[in-house]
């Protein structure tokens, strides 16, 4: 089992009430490592409108590279404005994934569109920053990955990596909408697309992770890292209903692969469980794994789908990737 040592919550917008656009939620953390600091991008929200709808904005904080528990800067304005009237990202950018591409930072994000019969739909867009992520510009007004005849519902939850010179994008594709107690709920599974340039993507067209909680299990935010000659995926999974509390809420799972095509689900090895009390006692989800100075860390969000903030964990048995996970 992975031995993750929880280092505590590092950021909660509710503790910094100086700007209305970042009132609560810190979701989908993703980092770029610089020489003196680690920039953590995430999604945040202002208060809901009178009809209960939310907007979601891209934001970031900087962590001291020598002490990742210490926040040294908080973003003062959204690095990426919401989309124009009628565009696929008019109402939000969430979740997100960032990657350094030479002297630029690219952010892949799920844009929100509000709908009539179901609450929302989504597609994945791309924006580029030339100033280390302070400001982003879209490459166009439309998405780079959207629904299609074989993936007819929402597309989102992107995580991007470049491995052996090739771009890989893990995302979720909606399978169907089912009736919920208060509103329709989407069912979505993890899939993968590949690219030579990070812009034009080829979908692989298959669900990667077998269900554990039945066919209506929801899977999200798959983050992949290469270690010990294998590929390791940490992701979120939950029940389709009553998931905003502790019982059916998100947990962090794990799968391993030798070729990025076939994955073996081994959630018992993930090692990231609920705390007995506090901000992550009901939910742990949307993991992002990264390395700083040969140490492996995980950022993740906690209770209420990230309303309670972002936490940090350190992997204490990273030298054992080969030994423990060869199966």
d(CA 184, CA 89): 21
Q: Which residue has the tokens 């908080």?
A: 74
d(CA 236, CA 302): 12
Closest residue by Cα to residue 196 from 170, 229, 163, 233:
163
- Count CB neighbours of 87 within 10 A: 16
Q: What is the pLDDT along the chain (327 residues), one digit of tens a residue?
A: 899 999 999 999 999 876 789 999 999 999 999 999 999 999 999 999 888 899 999 999 999 999 999 999 999 999 999 999 999 999 999 999 999 999 999 999 999 999 989 999 999 999 999 999 999 999 999 999 999 999 999 999 999 999 989 999 999 999 999 988 788 999 999 999 999 999 999 999 999 999 999 999 999 999 999 998 899 999 999 999 888 877 899 999 999 999 999 999 999 999 999 999 999 999 999 999 999 999 999 999 999 999 999 999 999 986 666 554 444
Phi, psi of 269 (to 5 degrees): -95, -10
pLDDT tens-place string over residues 195-253: 999 999 999 999 999 999 999 999 999 999 999 889 999 999 999 988 887 789 999 99
**Domain coordinates in residue numbering, the chain:** 4-324
Which CATH entry fits the domain spanning 4-324: 3.20.20.60, 3.40.50.300, 2.115.10.20, 2.40.160.50? Answer: 2.115.10.20
DSSP state, residue 244:
S
């Amino acid at each position: 089992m992975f031995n993750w040592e929880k280092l505590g919550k590092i950021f909660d917008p509710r503790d910094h009430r100086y700007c209305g656009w970042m009132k609560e939620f810190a979701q989908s953390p993703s980092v770029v490592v610089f020489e003196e600091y680690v920039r953590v991008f995430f999604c945040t929200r202002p208060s809901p409108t009178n009809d209960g709808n939310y907007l979601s904005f891209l934001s970031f904080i900087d962590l001291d590279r020598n002490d990742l528990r210490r926040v040294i800067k908080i973003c003062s304005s959204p690095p990426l404005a919401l989309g124009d009237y009628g565009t696929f990202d008019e109402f939000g950018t969430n979740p997100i994934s960032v990657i350094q591409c030479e002297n630029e930072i690219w952010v892949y994000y799920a844009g929100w569109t509000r709908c009539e019969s179901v609450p929302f739909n989504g597609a994945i867009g791309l924006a580029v920053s030339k100033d280390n992520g302070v400001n982003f510009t879209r490459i166009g007004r439309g998405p780079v990955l959207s629904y299609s005849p074989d993936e007819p519902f929402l597309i989102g939850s992107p995580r991007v990596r470049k491995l052996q010179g090739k771009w890989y994008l893990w995302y979720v594709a909606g399978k169907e909408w089912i009736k919920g107690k208060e509103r329709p709920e989407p069912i979505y599974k993890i899939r993968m697309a590949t690219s030579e340039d990070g812009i034009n993507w080829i979908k692989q067209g298959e669900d990667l992770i077998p269900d554990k909680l039945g066919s209506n299990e929801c899977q999200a935010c798959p983050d992949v890292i290469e270690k010990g000659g294998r590929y390791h995926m940490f992701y979120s999974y939950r029940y389709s209903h009553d998931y905003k509390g502790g019982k059916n809420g998100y947990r962090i799972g794990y799968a391993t692969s030798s070729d990025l095509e076939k994955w073996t689900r081994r959630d018992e090895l993930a090692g990231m469980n609920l705390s007995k009390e506090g901000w992550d006692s009901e939910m742990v989800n949307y993991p992002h794994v990264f390395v700083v100075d040969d140490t492996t860390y995980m950022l993740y969000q906690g209770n209420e789908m990230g309303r309670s903030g972002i936490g940090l964990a350190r992997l204490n048995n990273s030298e054992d990737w080969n030994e423990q996970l060869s199966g």
